[in-house]
Amino acid sequence: MRRDHTHLCHHRPPQKRRTPHRGRQPHLPICPPCLRHEHRVLDDIADALGHWQHQPRSLVPAIRYDRDRTEGAGDGPKDGITHPADVLEALWEWAGSWAQRTGGTANAAVLDHLKARTLWAAHNPQAAQWAAYRPAMRQLRHAARRIAHLLPQRQNGPCVHCGATVVRDWADRDFQPLPTGLSDMHRCTGCGITWGDRSWWMTVNRTTLQALPEVKPEQYVTLEDAWLIFPDVPKPTWRKWKERGHMIERRRDERGRSMYHVGDLAALATRRVSDTRNVREVG
């Protein structure tokens, strides 16, 4: 009885379809397009590492501005990869594991070694740990692009139109470095809207945020957003309200910062203005 390997293929057919999809031979657990795709992931890692440049250490010590002890905060990436050598070490671990299980030695170039045994790994998913290998390679590709400064640079503050992340690009869609370096254009990864430069993005942000209390009082905002929305309220006042429990935390953002309903903050700001006027009238 023939074993069914269709679950290993990226282009697996629908469950009701019993015949293999066009392009994959019945006895193969992975189709040629999927095999080429797995090889392409390895090529992407090599391409990203090829763009890595050594950054000389500065004589001026770095200053951390994110002093908040939030979950996930730290001095480095969660995967611990900060140098091309870290990526290569992870690749060699996989190459050595596969070599041990195939009775060979990993003495060739690591990417060539993995490419040469990808088909074997698909045929032997248990021995090769195929289900763990595929996401691991994609994570290494992401890490390689990160240390090579090919990933978009995230900006502080979400898109005021859809709430998604706003970024500036170091590279094009094919992850090739832009000839001009970091782009001045700000781009939303959600709705795709763009701003020509930071000053225009900040202007739109400020205008949109200041209209939120009347337009959308249930909108979530951070303390930093409140400073822009209510410029007449001093920053120490916001901190004092927070310490005294006057500000009700509704949720936390992806950086672990407290978020509040802008309508609740507007009520606090309005009450402050009213109290200030009453004090002046009594005086």
- Angle 153-159-164 (CA atoms, 0-180°, nearest 5)? 75
Q: In the chain, where does the domain assigned CATH 1.10.1660 lie?
A: 213-282
Per-residue confidence in pLDDT tens, the chain, 283 aa? 334 444 456 555 444 445 545 554 555 678 999 999 999 999 999 999 999 986 655 444 444 434 333 333 445 678 889 999 999 999 999 999 999 998 877 777 899 999 999 999 999 999 999 999 999 999 999 999 999 999 999 887 778 777 788 999 999 999 999 999 999 999 999 889 999 988 888 788 777 777 777 778 888 888 888 887 888 889 899 989 989 998 989 988 777 888 898 889 988 988 876 655 444 444 4
Q: How many CB atoms lie within 10 A of CB 225?
A: 23
Please give the pLDDT value at position 11.
52
Please give the pLDDT value at position 281.
45
Please give the pLDDT value at position 138.
97
Please give the pLDDT value at position 110.
92
Please give the pLDDT value at position 26.
52
In angstroms, the CA 145 to CA 139 distance is: 10
Closest CA to 185 of 165, 175, 200, 174: 200
- For domain 213-282, give the CATH number: 1.10.1660
Task: Please state at what angle helix 262-282 crosses helix 198-215, rounded to 10 degrees.
Answer: 80
